[in-house]
């Protein structure tokens, strides 16, 4: 096994029971991701993007084949171990921010840390750092209802990033945002990806997202159709940094 | 984490307000009912003990069988000896002689002819000995409406109601007609020194209180008396101690048989008190159980509604890696906090209402006209130590049970669905 790959998926199938038979949502997936990737699962509705993200996120298990996340086989984890894996190493960003409305911005970002062994000082510092990354230091006392959509998603990014996870999974993170806010949060994630070497995997069919990703994995009917490392030219010129890409299968 | 939960509860009124209101309602009613039943029960036991049953009572076998009729002909004999014995055997208790009897009181006009007549319930106690505690025990001085307590033989108290009926005022003479312990007719004149009202319906109708020596005299009793009552020195009935005393006494007399053999009864055994007390404590348990059940169901449903509202929150928490048991437990902690807050508020309200009923009471004397048990005419609550915590039992149990039931849904959440659920 290649140790530089933090995600290693081999001959993986996902089938759902359907009527009397089975529906194959993912078919023989082979994929690896290295540290620091900024990749997108792209494809039409129903192509299996969310299903794949679910399995990488240890929220679901494959029917066949192996999926190793950070040296742990998803199929073999108990519920509790899967929860622990998510808790320690994975961050999630959703289309609909999912902030806890009764808590302040600060407390929302703090929440994942309460599940980990952070002291209150460590939590405080980590939350302030995370809010600074997303440019919301001045909103720490606000409630989610007082925030714009873009700000809410930035809080969600801070919440996903605050424990500095190895992998962040984002399902349609820009679907509810206008163009300007979409660019804003994508730039933000790109910056975090570079500074913290966090691996980002998006599921999306948003062209704006596709402009930012450095690897585009195209799904169609549950199969990987294409896995491309995008050239600088495909993307907005100002964000290119020319760093070598890793782990792709063309 | 506790702080976090508390903040959530305090800020989210939907989460806290309704359950707290339910708990406050249930708890305040429980506390009030507890205090009220306790007060009535306590008063009832107290009245019965003082006026009628003692904490224990010695009578003859025959008297016991017909106690309702107060048969003086079945009085205890050798009372001096018996009293000396129980005072020696049970030195910590107080032992007193009593005679209860029925009779007629006749109010004569100034020619000595009958002007008015009424049945009386005679209660003969030691009113006149210098060291008697009976005057205080029966609360006589505070119960006098007109006139004063008897100061010498030949003076009696009659109930104010009876005095009104007979149109007798203190200082006037009345004639008691009753029978001696040997069954012959007895008549005696007394001066009514005062009228009295105890607040016990059964006695306020027609009681007549006289000194035990006067009663012995008119009933031709020498070394006899119909009842010997024993009281614990702290004045509080204790069924365990009473049973011990009773068993010991009755064991000593187990060989004497016949209708004049002495037998000891305890408070619980008399005047249907046992069944009454059992009935009341059963009612209390049923009442509290019904409350816990009803509140649990309401809170369960409230929890289910709350669960729907917080579906996203729970999903998110599961997604970011809080495991199910922990999410479930945090809901239970929340319910404990809510239950505690509600119980505290409910207890304060319940105690407030109980305090009012303790000071003012509700007058039920009209309903008690024919009661055989000595019910207090005014029902008062009594705040006792358990009143301060008893409400927390239904308050906490119902919130926790309600949450445990409604929270089960968390275990049914499929993590595989979370991404989809959280998208909508
Ligand atoms: N729990 C399930 N049971 C049955 N079928 C499922 C289940 N989850 C997903 N599917 C099916 O698997 C296929 C892939 O679904 P998935 O949600 O991964 O699509 P997607 O690419 O994320 O689509 P979209 O862009 O609309 O979000 C779909 O046809 C869907 O109906
Ligand atoms: Mg999807």
Q: In terms of domains, do B409 and B325 share one?
A: yes
Q: Does B131 lie at the interface with A, CB-CB under 8 angstroms?
A: no
Write out the residue range of the structural domain in which residue B212 sits. 56-234
So what's the pLDDT on residue A240?
A: 40
Centre of ligand 2 to C-alpha B419, Å, is: 8
- Nearest-ligand number for the alpha carbon of A220: 1
Q: In terms of domains, do B17 and B107 share one?
A: no
Give percent of chain B with pLDDT exceeding 70: 97
Express each pLDDT in B95-114 by its tens digit: 999 999 999 999 988 887 88
Mean pLDDT value across residues B52-74: 92
On the question of pLDDT at B201 being above 60, the answer is: yes
Do the domain assignments include residue B249? no
Do the domain assignments include residue B261? no
- Angle among Cα B179, B185, B191 to the nearest 5 degrees reads 75
On the question of pLDDT at B6 being above 70, the answer is: yes
Q: In terms of domains, do B30 and B99 share one?
A: no
- Ligand 1 pocket: which of A24, A50, A53, A224 to mutate (most atoms <8 Å of CB)? A50
Which of A54-63, A239-248, B19-28, B80-89 is the least confident region? A239-248
Better-scored residue on pLDDT, A3 or B93 = B93
- In the numeric block, the tokens 């163009």 are attached to A179
Do the domain assignments include residue B253? no
Alpha-carbon distance of B155 to B280, in angstroms, equals: 40
So what's the pLDDT on residue B284?
A: 80
Express each pLDDT in B363-418 by its tens digit: 777 666 656 566 677 788 889 898 999 899 889 998 899 899 888 888 888 888 88
Q: How far is A227 from chain B (nearest CA, A)?
A: 24
Mean pLDDT value across residues B57-67: 93
Do the domain assignments include residue B133? yes
On the question of pLDDT at B1 being above 90, the answer is: no
**DSSP label at residue B200:** B
Q: In terms of domains, do B42 and B87 share one?
A: no
Alpha-carbon distance of B164 to B161, in angstroms, equals: 5
Q: In terms of domains, do B78 and B37 share one?
A: no
Alpha-carbon distance of B220 to B222, in angstroms, equals: 7
Do the domain assignments include residue B79? yes
Q: Chain B interface, mutation test: which of A41, A58, A84, A98, most B Cβ atoms within 10 Å?
A: A98
Do the domain assignments include residue B246? no
Express each pLDDT in B267-292 by its tens digit: 988 877 778 778 888 888 888 888 88
**DSSP label at residue B129:** S
Which residues of chain A have a Cβ shorter than 8 Å from any chain B Cβ? Answer: 50, 53-54, 57, 59-61, 79-80, 82-88, 90-92, 94-96, 98, 100-103, 107, 111-112, 114-115, 159, 171-172
Mean pLDDT value across residues B187-215: 91
Q: In terms of domains, do B139 and B70 share one?
A: yes
So what's the pLDDT on residue A241?
A: 45
pTM of the model: 0.76
Express each pLDDT in B229-267 by its tens digit: 999 988 888 889 999 999 999 999 888 888 899 999 999
Burial of B290 (0-12, 13-18, 19+ CB in 10 A): exposed
- Band of residue A247 on the pLDDT scale cut at 50, 70, 90: very low
Q: In terms of domains, do B27 and B72 share one?
A: no
Better-scored residue on pLDDT, A245 or B326 = B326
Q: In terms of domains, do B227 and B288 share one?
A: no
Ligand 2 is an ion; its neighbours by CB within 5 Å are A 50
Query: Would you say the CB of residue A46 lies under 6 angstroms from ligand 1?
Result: yes
Last residue of a domain, one of B177, B202, B234: B234
End-to-end CA distance of chain A: 19
Nearest to A132 by CA among A111, A161, A104, A108: A161
CB B63 within 8 Å of CB B101: no
Alpha-carbon distance of A42 to A201, in angstroms, equals: 10
- CATH numbers and ranges of domains, chain A: 36-64+79-235 (3.40.50.300)
Q: In terms of domains, do B214 and B290 share one?
A: no
Do the domain assignments include residue B16? yes
Q: In terms of domains, do B92 and B128 share one?
A: yes
Better-scored residue on pLDDT, B81 or B198 = B81
Do the domain assignments include residue B388? yes
Express each pLDDT in A180-201 by its tens digit: 999 999 999 999 999 999 999 9
Give me the number of domains chain B comprises.
2
Which of A41-55, B72-86, B199-213, B405-419 is the least confident region? B405-419
Last residue of a domain, one of B184, B209, B234: B234
Express each pLDDT in A208-235 by its tens digit: 999 999 999 999 999 999 999 986 545 5
Q: In terms of domains, do B224 and B285 share one?
A: no
10 Å Cβ neighbour count for A91? 26
Last residue of a domain, one of B234, B249, B266: B234
Q: In terms of domains, do B64 and B27 share one?
A: no
């Amino acid at each position: 096994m290649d140790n530089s790959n933090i995600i290693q998926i081999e001959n993986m199938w996902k089938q759902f029971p359907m009527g009397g038979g089975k529906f194959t949502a993912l078919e023989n997936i082979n994929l690896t991701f290295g540290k620091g990737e900024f990749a997108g699962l792209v494809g039409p509705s129903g192509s299996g993007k969310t299903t794949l993200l679910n399995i990488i996120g240890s929220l679901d298990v494959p029917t066949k084949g192996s999926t190793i996340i950070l040296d742990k086989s998803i199929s073999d984890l108990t519920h509790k171990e899967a929860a622990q894996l998510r808790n320690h190493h994975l961050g999630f960003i959703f289309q609909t921010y999912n902030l806890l409305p009764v808590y302040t911005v600060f407390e929302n970002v703090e929440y994942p840390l309460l599940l980990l062994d952070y002291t209150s000082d460590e939590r405080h510092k980590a939350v302030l750092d995370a809010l600074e990354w997303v440019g919301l230091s001045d909103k720490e006392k606000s409630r989610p209802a007082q925030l714009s959509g873009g700000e809410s998603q930035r809080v969600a990014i801070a919440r996903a990033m605050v424990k500095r996870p190895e992998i962040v999974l984002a399902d349609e993170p820009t679907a509810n945002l206008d163009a300007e806010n979409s660019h804003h949060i994508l730039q933000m994630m790109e910056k975090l990806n570079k500074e913290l070497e966090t691996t980002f995997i998006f599921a999306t069919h948003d062209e704006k997202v596709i402009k930012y990703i450095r690897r585009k994995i195209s799904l169609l009917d549950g199969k990987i159709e294409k896995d491309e490392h995008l050239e600088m030219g495909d993307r907005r010129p100002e964000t290119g940094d020319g760093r070598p890409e890793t782990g792709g299968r063309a | 984490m506790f702080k976090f939960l508390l903040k959530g509860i305090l800020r989210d009124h939907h989460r806290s307000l309704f359950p707290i209101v339910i708990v406050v309602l249930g708890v305040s009613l429980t506390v009030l009912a507890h205090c009220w039943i306790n007060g009535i029960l306590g008063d009832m036991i107290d009245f019965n003990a003082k006026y009628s049953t003692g904490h224990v009572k010695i009578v003859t076998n025959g008297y016991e069988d017909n106690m309702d009729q107060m048969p003086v002909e079945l009085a205890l004999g050798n009372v001096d000896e018996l009293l000396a014995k129980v005072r020696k055997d049970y030195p910590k208790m107080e032992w007193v002689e009593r005679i209860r009897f029925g009779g007629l009181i006749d109010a004569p006009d100034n020619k000595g002819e009958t002007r008015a007549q009424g049945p009386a319930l005679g209660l003969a106690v030691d009113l006149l000995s210098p060291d008697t505690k009976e005057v205080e025990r029966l609360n006589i001085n505070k119960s006098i409406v007109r006139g004063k307590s008897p100061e010498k033989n030949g003076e009696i108290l009659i109930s104010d109601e009876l005095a009104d009926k007979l149109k007798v005022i203190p200082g006037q003479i009345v004639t008691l007609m009753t029978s001696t312990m040997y069954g012959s007719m007895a008549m005696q004149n007394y001066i009514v020194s005062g009228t009295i009202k105890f607040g016990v319906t059964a006695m306020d109708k027609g009681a007549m209180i006289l000194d035990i020596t006067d009663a012995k005299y008119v009933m031709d009793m020498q070394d006899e008396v119909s009842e010997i009552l024993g009281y614990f020195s702290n004045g509080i009935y204790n069924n365990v101690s009473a049973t011990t005393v009773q068993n010991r006494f009755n064991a000593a007399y187990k060989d004497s048989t016949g209708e004049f053999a002495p037998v000891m009864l305890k408070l619980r055994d008399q005047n249907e008190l046992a069944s009454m007390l059992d009935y009341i404590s059963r009612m209390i348990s049923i009442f509290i159980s019904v409350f816990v059940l009803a509140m649990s169901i309401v809170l369960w449903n409230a929890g289910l509604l709350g669960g729907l509202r917080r579906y996203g929150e729970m999903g998110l928490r599961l997604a970011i890696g809080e495991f199910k048991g922990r999410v479930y437990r945090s809901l239970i902690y929340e319910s404990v906090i809510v239950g505690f807050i509600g119980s505290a508020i409910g207890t304060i309200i319940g105690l407030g209402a109980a305090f009012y009923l303790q000071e003012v009471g509700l007058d039920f004397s009209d309903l008690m006209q024919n009661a055989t048990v000595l019910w207090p005419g005014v029902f008062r609550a009594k705040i006792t130590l358990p009143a301060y915590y008893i409400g927390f039992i239904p308050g906490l149990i119902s919130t926790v049970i309600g949450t445990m039931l409604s929270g089960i849904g968390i275990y049914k959440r499929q993590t595989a669905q979370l991404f989809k659920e959280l998208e909508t």
